[in-house]
Amino acid sequence: MEREPLLMLPGPVPVPERVRLAMARQAINHRGKEFGEVYADCVRILKQVFGTGNELFVISGSGTAAMEAAVANFGKDKKIACLVNGKFGERLYKISQRYGDATAIESQWGTPLSLESLEAALEDGAGVVTLVHNETSAGIKNPAKEVGRLARKYDALFLMDGITSIGGDEVKADDWCADCAIVGSQKCLAAPAGLSAISVSEHAWERISKTRPFYLDLMSYRKNAQNTPMETPYTPAVPLFLALREACLIIEEEGIEKRIERHKRLSLSVRSAAVAWGLSLFPTIDSTHTYSNTVTAVNVPEGVKDSEFKGIVKKMGIEIAGGQDHLKGKIFRIGTMGAVNAPEVLATLAAVGHALKKSGFEIKGDGVEAACEVLS
């Protein structure tokens, strides 16, 4: 079998061998003591990574399932203000439209959100606010703390998608007043795809909807998590829990502060390379919005054909991401999430620099050298 390409995407990401091998063992009963301990380990470590003392559950479903759980359990029939400046903000808005009276507070993808418009919506009675903390579609990091505090000021619930920031960037769910915070397994946690986790504040429990979906009913998750041994309401994806526990143990061993520093350093090195080559970064940042620390979005330079360019990189065994929806062909994105480090980033930048040249772009400076300056 040919080797799998190195995934430098904003998820899925390369999974450490130790995590993958945890899945290879024989099936265990999910109603037994051992599974309960696996689940409890995940919850204990994830709470630290989330920065929360709230209850936290692992859902056998992707980040989208956890987004829906948050909205369906806590936003039903309420006025929901959805902050949107990228694809995943749009997704939260779409989900919110299915359950509540949703309004999108939109900025162009990758540009700052308007906190003034949010405040107006809150004054107008919005009871729930949704935000994507780290918008991978545009490489921008949104001001979760400011949004959370604003929501709290108006006594609204704050549902925060931290799918691609938690475990790789600083998140303080409780300090930021996040009533629900969400992470996906295949992003900064460097576990396989298929699980998500969600934290729920007391504030949120008090306002839970009376009519809820079944598989994503968080009251059932709460009830079953209180069993001894700890359980999920329905059959969980057991191998993925075993893998997630291992991934969490690795985070604990590395230390969350160090892990965040590593993510910051890696993304800075990618941005430095892009600038040195003479490329421009896609997002528009300001005093509250910053570049993402887990994915870098770069404008495809004029004259370069995105698919051809990415194809050259892929030929060297490395997958980077293009733009989504209307940004297709206009940006490319390099993920620096999870377990990757300098070797993966340097290999990627070397391949990207070569592909830029081959695609007809006139390189200004030495991007790889600029990255080395950051990484060394």
Q: Which residues bind its own copies (CB under 8 A)?
A: 3-5, 7, 9, 11-15, 20-21, 23-30, 32, 60-65, 67-68, 72, 94-95, 98, 184, 186, 192-195, 211-216, 234-240, 243, 319
Nearer Cβ to its own copies (46/191): 191
Instruction: Using alpha carbons, list the distances in angstroms from residue 38 to 41, 50, 193, 272, 332.
Output: 5, 18, 17, 40, 38
Nearer Cβ to its own copies (243/355): 243
In whole angstroms, how close is the CB of 156 to its own copies at the nearest point? Answer: 22
Q: What is the SS3 assignment for 59?
A: strand
Q: What is the SS3 assignment for 25?
A: coil
243 neighbors 189 (Cβ within 8 angstroms)? no
Nearer Cβ to its own copies (149/212): 212
Nearer Cβ to its own copies (13/113): 13
Q: Tell me the Ramachandran region of residue 238: left when phi exceeds 0, alpha when psi lies from -120 to 50, beta otherwise.
A: alpha
Tokens representing 175 are 């300090």
137 neighbors 322 (Cβ within 8 angstroms)? no
CA gap 267, 295 in Å, rounded:
7
In whole angstroms, how close is the CB of 61 to its own copies at the nearest point? Answer: 5
In whole angstroms, how close is the CB of 45 to its own copies at the nearest point? Answer: 20
Phi, psi of 90 (to 5 degrees): -60, -40
Nearer Cβ to its own copies (186/359): 186
Other Cβ atoms within 10 Å of 319 Cβ, number: 16
In whole angstroms, how close is the CB of 26 to its own copies at the nearest point? Answer: 4
In whole angstroms, how close is the CB of 138 to its own copies at the nearest point? Answer: 18
| Maximal CA-CA distance, the chain | 63
Nearer Cβ to its own copies (51/233): 233
Residue from 103, 85, 55 nearest 285 by CA: 85
Nearer Cβ to its own copies (116/210): 210
CA gap 144, 113 in Å, rounded:
11
Instruction: Using alpha carbons, list the distances in angstroms from residue 334 to 128, 172, 204, 259.
Output: 32, 25, 35, 18
Nearer Cβ to its own copies (7/81): 7
Matching residue, tokens 């060297």: 316
In whole angstroms, how close is the CB of 369 to its own copies at the nearest point? Answer: 29
End-to-end Cα distance, the chain: 34
In whole angstroms, how close is the CB of 241 to its own copies at the nearest point? Answer: 9
Residues 318, 186, 325, CA angle at the centre, nearest 5°? Answer: 70
Nearer Cβ to its own copies (31/357): 31
231 neighbors 210 (Cβ within 8 angstroms)? no
49 neighbors 256 (Cβ within 8 angstroms)? yes
In whole angstroms, how close is the CB of 29 to its own copies at the nearest point? Answer: 6
Q: What is the DSSP string of 42-59?
A: HHHHHHHHHT--SEEEEE
In whole angstroms, how close is the CB of 119 to its own copies at the nearest point? Answer: 28
